[in-house]
Structure 1
Amino acid sequence: MEAKRSSISVVLISLVALLSGCASLSEEECVTGDWYGIGYSDGLQGRSETFLSNHQEACAEYTIAFDVKPYLMGREEGLKRYCHQDNGYRLGRSGAKYHYVCPEDLEPAFLETYQSGRQVYQQEQQVRELEKELERQEKELHEVELQAQRTEKRLISRGLSSAEREDLLFKLREFEREQRTSYYQLQHLEHQLLQERSKLEYMD
């Protein structure tokens, strides 16, 4: 019974430690109280307002009150830099998500460049997926070709019965059909990849 209680205590301590590790602010940050700087950093990273409540909860753990006013002032200034048109394109191009945090006067221009960058990012992903699929198809074709070669060697070997030879011939024809299908699929993929790469070059 005592061992069971000890085990439960260890689990609880681990959970508390885990939750503490997820806190948005450390004790030192709460004690220092650079609320403006914290807000500026959040704005610069395009974080949503939910981070404010996360910060408040984190500092409450250390019985420290979070000062909202300077935080919001800092966040507003940080958002001005985050919501710049150039940054919008960079974020979209990198595949980063936008949480609709920009002020009304900055959002239209930001979204325009963000969407442009996002389109390039998505086109890159499309090209990468096709490249992976092409590589997979090439490996499959190579494997089928090897199987066909092995079957041919067995087919011309001595000592085979008529039934065995007929079975091998059937398998060889199956492999040949698979090869033709794979060739067709590869040609289609290569053509598609060429088109998508051209689109990407045009976009860039």
Structure 2
Amino acid sequence: MLTIFDGQKPMNRRELLRVGTLGLGGLSLSSLLGVKALAKGQPNPLTGKSVIFLFQQGGPSQHETFDPKPDAPSGVRSVGEVIPNSVPGTHFSGWMPRLARLADKFSVVRSFSTENSGHNIQPIVSRSSREANIGVHYSRVAGVTRPNSGLPTNVVLLPRSVDAHVPGPEARGNISATGPHSKGFAPFIPGKGGQLQYDMNLALSRDR
């Protein structure tokens, strides 16, 4: 007999195991297979596409790159040439003619706002991203590695990936933050001084 316990009344271990066993007993093979079939019929949220987030610390503004605002007054619009791109009705700065020809192959997000005018790392790690690198959320859904290649799904390339003496953008925030998620979803950061190289170091001398 299944007893319904009052919410304020404590449940001892024996009672908990008894109720849990009854619940598991109600799961038949047909119901388990039905759940599996239902999950199989759901659309896959992964598209197989990749995202490259280019964080230009100290780089040109949007007016000189992807949003030149050709109809804006002087002082707001781009100071350089404005050229049409491969998407009808849109323009890029004249500094990027090759990207303009490929504009129909990628998306430019113009609606993101951090409500912060400071030139910091807000677009990458902030309250808007739940204090986590945006790649962390993706790897939590897609997995930390690609099943067909084993390559990591969340990679961060800092200047120190080339030379350990070149400082990265840590002054703007922790770009490897995982927020509420496990550290296992942290981005893979290659290069000298990275965690991967540290883990692969041998503690034994060459002679031994």
Query: Structure 2-normalised TM-score?
Result: 0.25
Q: Which has the higher contact order (CA 8 A, sep 6+)?
A: 1
- Mark the structure with the bigger radius of gyration: 1
- Greater helix share, 1 or 2? 1
TM-score by length of 1: 0.25
